[in-house]
Amino acid sequence: MDIHALQQIVHKTRDARRKQTIPKFPPAERDTLIKKYHPDFRESAYRPIRFGPNEGDKTVVELATLLEGDSPVQDDLDLTPQYSTDVLVIGGGGAGCAAALHAHGAGAKVILATKLRLGDSNSVMAQGGMQISVAPEDSPVTHFLDTLKGGHMQNDHALLKVMVEDGPSIAKWLIELGVLFDRQADGNLHVKKGGGSSKPRLLTCSDYTGLEIMRVLKDEVINQKIQLLEFAAAVELLSDDDGQCTGAIFKDLDNHRYVVVAAKSVILATGGIGRLHIQGFPTSNHYGATGDGLCLSYRMGAKLAHIDTFQYHPSGAVYPEQLIGALVTEGIRSEGGHLVNAKGERFVNELDTRDVVSSSIIRECEEGRGIRTMSGRIGVWLDTPLLDAEHGPGTVEKHFPAMVMQFERFGIDISKDPVLIYPTLHYQNGGVKIDANSETNVRNLFVAGEASGGLHGRNRLMGNSLLDLMVFGKRSGLTAASRAASMKQGKLTLKHLQRFRAEAKKHGNSSGVISPMILPAYTRKVG
């Protein structure tokens, strides 16, 4: 049946649904739902890591294979540095820019290296907002408890405490830099309610919050004349005789040569893992999100945390084909948009946590209540026109201009017709284990943002990622700069890589896989 004909059930049932209240699932029912339908619990998708700091821990097959993979760098590479710096930041997204700016502001010499261009990152695509407890009825304590509950009580308490307490000062810093957060008529910051949160605390810039923040941070990095290495993909870290981090090796993607950078401290801000397409899921992640920081840290001996859990954002586009996996912002559900199955029924509280909502959507589709497209994909409806019906004509266009434009390109008016969605691989809940200043168990190696692990537990609340980037970008930058000011440049060696290769050989690892992946392989080799 034509997609437009299938949409009619949403229009016909709208008035009846507006009278409904859907309660959140009780705890026991939530747990049962998640364990039965969430992709994290598909045992066939996981296997133990065979060696290294996390030997025996399970993670998805795609990541385990990369963690055990060999470096492209040979032991005899000339390690004479082409560049030397106090602080080397690897990654040009939100965490990387924040780290570079704070390290530079503390007086350190900084180089920011990024695999693609400055700003090419998941941060640019963050839509829903940034959770910060700035409202009078809110507090960091409430933010802490909401996040702890959302993370299934598995969050690192020390990291979480730092994040919620540093939030207000981060908001002040961003506003002073020029970020244009939404305001109320009286000029105060406007806050919205997010899924899994008990209080409204989302600071937003319409539905392009991440883009606005990155606009400002990118300009500031350029204005401060921080040295940039673009199209430089990190392929290996460097260590001294004691295993401390002393720099990194990059592959120049323009001329395919290796570039060696000596650094007193290194901050990895390489982002997520979505382009591995775990379990075959589409992804909302940008092109370079291939989990590089995890591979590099792991070979250095850094411990990983919560690497068996990933976030599947409930509302990834299913139609049209050109938008597969792209986010349909959670802000639409925050404003009251309904999730509707093929029968025209609501089946979940739209503001429940992401793992619950995603599991509920997967259940509807697996039990035959999903809507199938002509290309064979399946999903459920998100009733976007309901917002205009509830809040007045023009609401969708006013509050979600980026989303309107995204679908308008393909002849779809989301203020008049619902959109078809299904969970998309969105976020890496775990990552490299860090302390409150973003340092790993490898001295002088820091990790900030999505590549780090522990803060979000087993499920991230919406809006906490942007705050995570800013808080731990700042903390890593300041700590790395302070450390660099009191030390000399360490020796550049590949001894950690030699140890890793010896351990791999002992475990009979001969897969032939080279990591990091650098860029996803979407094309088949011919011949």
Q: 446-477: buried (b, 16+ CB within 10 Å) or exposed (e) per residue? A: bbbbbbbbbbbbbbbbbbbbbbbbbbbbbbbb
Partners of 202 in the beta sheet? 131, 192
Q: Return the DSSP state at 451.
A: G
Q: 496-517: buried (b, 16+ CB within 10 Å) or exposed (e) per residue? A: bbeebbeebeeeebeeeeebbb
Do residues 47 and 54 lie in contact, with contact meaning Cβ atoms separated by under 8 Å? no
Tokens 């050989």, residue located:
505
Q: Which of 14, 333, 354, 460 is catalytic?
A: 354
CA distance 371 to 4: 12
Cα 386–chain centre separation: 29
CA distance 74 to 494: 9
Partners of 312 in the beta sheet? 425
CA distance 477 to 275: 27
CA atoms within 13 A on the CB side of 120: 16
Beta-carbon contacts of residue 2 (< 8 Å; ≥ 6 apart): none
Beta-carbon contacts of residue 76 (< 8 Å; ≥ 6 apart): none
> CA-CA-CA-CA torsion for 84, 88, 90, 94, nearest 10 degrees?
-140
Number of neighbours of residue 173 by Cβ within 10 angstroms: 16
CA distance 70 to 89: 23
Partners of 253 in the beta sheet? none
- Reported as type and span, the H/E element at residue 57 is none
CA distance 130 to 126: 9
Nearest to 93 by CA among 252, 268, 225: 268
CA distance 12 to 184: 34
Catalytic residue list contains 117: no
Give a three-class secondary structure readout of 292-330: HHHHHHHHHCCCEECCCCEEEEEEEECCCHHHCCCECCC
Q: 247-282: buried (b, 16+ CB within 10 Å) or exposed (e) per residue? A: bbbbbeeeeeebbbbbbbbbbbbbbbbbbbbbbebb
Token duo for residue 286: 């940008």
Q: Which residues are catalytic?
A: 354
